[in-house]
Structure 1
Amino acid sequence: MQEPTPEMVQSWKETYKTFRPGLKPNKKPIQDVIAYLKENYPVIDRTEQKLLQIVIENVTLNEHSAHKIPPGKPPLAQVFQIENTGTGKSLYENQDEIFKGCPVIVGFELESGYFMVEGSSQLWDELFIYRGLDEEDLNNYYLVAEYVACIQKTGHPARK
């Protein structure tokens, strides 16, 4: 949520050098991530065109994500809101200060496997670890460093 400093970039590269050799591709299909979300949290579908378009633009305007859409396939978005009940309640109770009072929204782009979370860094970390990284992601020092940071922050063991 900030412009990266040279120190941050250097730290990501060091983390990459340390942890990349032990990581293997483990990315789950996006439908598995959606199923995981629905199994673990109370969700409601959000079908507003504005929300769907935000997800699509987050993919199509990002070179790393955009080329993961297969040729000839249009981007396809799905958006959910986590309800502030049951297991969803803890996400709202543990929101970062910047998100306090905002709904927790999760968007998926079904062709590229991209996802985004607004309103809960805790849920983003959880889904990022669950989804994992593909071979291409494992060659991106930022994504590897972010994956390792999420694992270290949550104490979640990395999946092989």
Structure 2
Amino acid sequence: MITSKVTKNDLKIWKALFENNRERLVENRISGNDLNEYFCSNYVYNQVDIPELTEAVTCNARENGSNTPLIRTYVVHGNVYVGIDLETGFFHVESEDVKVVAQIWDDLFISRGLSKKDLDNYVIVGQYLSLLKY
């Protein structure tokens, strides 16, 4: 998860990771339902109804191709809010505790994998590969 201003050096690193690994990368994105199952299997959570979070995830899921988003919302650690669209796998993690948000976001991002569209974006691929420690 990007938590600070992106520098020219960040972009340079991500672009190099992208270019050096582009040929061997394949689409590996799991479904939203599979991502939700992963989350539920790996985190202690309470499923809650948070209309504002549902709306935020719904808007972004629609921008990412979902015609009928089906959103699940959770609370982790008492103050971290997670929303997942079961159709597209779009997710949102929010809290005042940026460190915990980044840990959960990074884990879900890696676990979800990359779509065909993602594979054309050097920033997304670079972040993904950086998290995998390429």
Fold agreement, TM-score > 0.5: yes
Given that residues 41 and 82 in structure 1 are in contact (C-alpha distance below 8 angstroms), is that contact kept between their aligned partners in structure 2?
Answer: yes
TM-score (norm 1): 0.69
- 1:68 aligned partner: 65
Structure index of larger Rg: 1
Q: Which runs of 4+ in 1 moved over 4 A?
A: none
The alpha-carbon distance between structure 1 residues 67 and 51, as it changes in their structure 2 partners (threshold 3 A), is closer
Give RMSD over aligned pairs: 2.1
- Worse overlay, 6-15 or 31-40: 6-15
Q: Which residue of 2 aligns with 1:32?
A: 34
- Contact 1:105-1:118 within 8 A present in 2 as well: yes
Of 110-119 and 121-130, the range deviating more from structure 2? 110-119
SS in structure 1 at match of 2:132: helix
What is the CA distance between 1:67 and its match in structure 2? 4.1
So what's the TM-score if we normalise by structure 2?
0.81
**Unpaired segments of 5 or more residues in structure 2?**
none
How many pairs were matched up? Answer: 127
Evaluate the alpha carbon distance shift between residue 129 and residue 67 of structure 1 in structure 2; reply closer, same or farther with a 3 A threshold: closer
- Aligned residue runs from structure 1 range 6-155, under 5 A: 6-60=8-62, 66-69=63-66, 73-83=67-77, 103-119=79-95, 120=100, 121-152=102-133
Task: Return the offset for 1:83.
Answer: 4.1
Partners of 1:111 and 1:26 in 2: how far apart? 16
Bigger shift: 111-120 or 19-28? 111-120
Kept in 1: contact 2:32–2:90 (CA 8 A): yes
